[in-house]
């Protein structure tokens, strides 16, 4: 465990001015721009901790709570919350600051799962994580819980997809904003 690193060792913040070319037709910053910045800060944080090349495996909980405006400074605060053998979970808090009014708003929090690769593209072990505060411990434990919930969710979704009987569940669409026009239904009307 002599190569273990603290959370603070790889803690990373990237701040960028939101410019007009980042805006959508509604004048707000594209979600894709923010996702790209989040991926960048997750890479820097995870690569610094692991000391290797890392790739993004999954992104959890991307929910834009408030819009980001042109002219605001967006800061992405990243820290390694969890490490496995070759994987790391990086927590990212995104805040936007209006420079004129000095108002700051939390726009979203996301969790990026990254894996470390060696020079040949094979998975490689990452250093253990030293948890120095109750906050570090809480985030590690929350990451464990999210992993457990995510695994259960994947199983439930797989079971739901493989066991779904369309005709038995068609009534669920009655209150939805869709129109079912299957060819087989149309043929039965013709007979």
Q: Which residue has the tokens 């996301």?
A: 110
Statement: the pTM of the whole predicted model exceeds 0.75 = yes
- pLDDT-derived band at 187 (thresholds 50, 70, 90) equals low
Query: Checking DSSP bridges between strand 87-97 and strand 104-117, what pairing results, if any?
Result: antiparallel
Could you give all domains of the chain from N- to C-terminal order, each with its CATH number? 5-176 (3.10.129.10)
Q: Is the pLDDT of residue 156 over 90?
A: no
Q: What pLDDT does residue 157 have? A: 80
What whole-number distance in Å separates Cα of residue 122 and Cα of residue 119?
Answer: 7
């Amino acid at each position: 465990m002599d190569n273990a690193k603290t959370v603070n060792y790889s803690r990373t913040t990237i701040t960028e001015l939101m410019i007009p070319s980042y805006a959508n037709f509604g004048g707000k910053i594209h979600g894709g721009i923010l996702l790209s910045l989040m991926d960048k800060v997750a890479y820097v944080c995870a690569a610094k901790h692991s000391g290797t090349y890392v790739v993004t495996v999954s992104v959890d909980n991307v929910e834009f709570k408030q819009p980001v405006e042109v002219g605001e400074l967006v800061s992405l605060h990243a820290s390694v919350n969890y490490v496995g053998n070759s994987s790391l979970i990086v927590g990212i808090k995104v805040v936007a600051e209006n420079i004129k009014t000095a108002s700051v708003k939390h726009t979203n929090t996301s969790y990026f799962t990254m894996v470390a690769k060696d020079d040949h593209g094979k998975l490689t072990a990452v250093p253990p994580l030293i948890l120095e505060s109750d906050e570090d411990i809480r985030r590690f434990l929350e990451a464990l819980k999210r992993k457990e919930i995510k695994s259960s969710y994947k199983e439930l979704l797989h079971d739901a997809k493989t066991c779904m009987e369309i005709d038995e569940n068609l009534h669920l669409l009655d209150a939805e904003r869709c129109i079912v026009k299957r060819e087989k239904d149309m043929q039965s009307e013709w007979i």
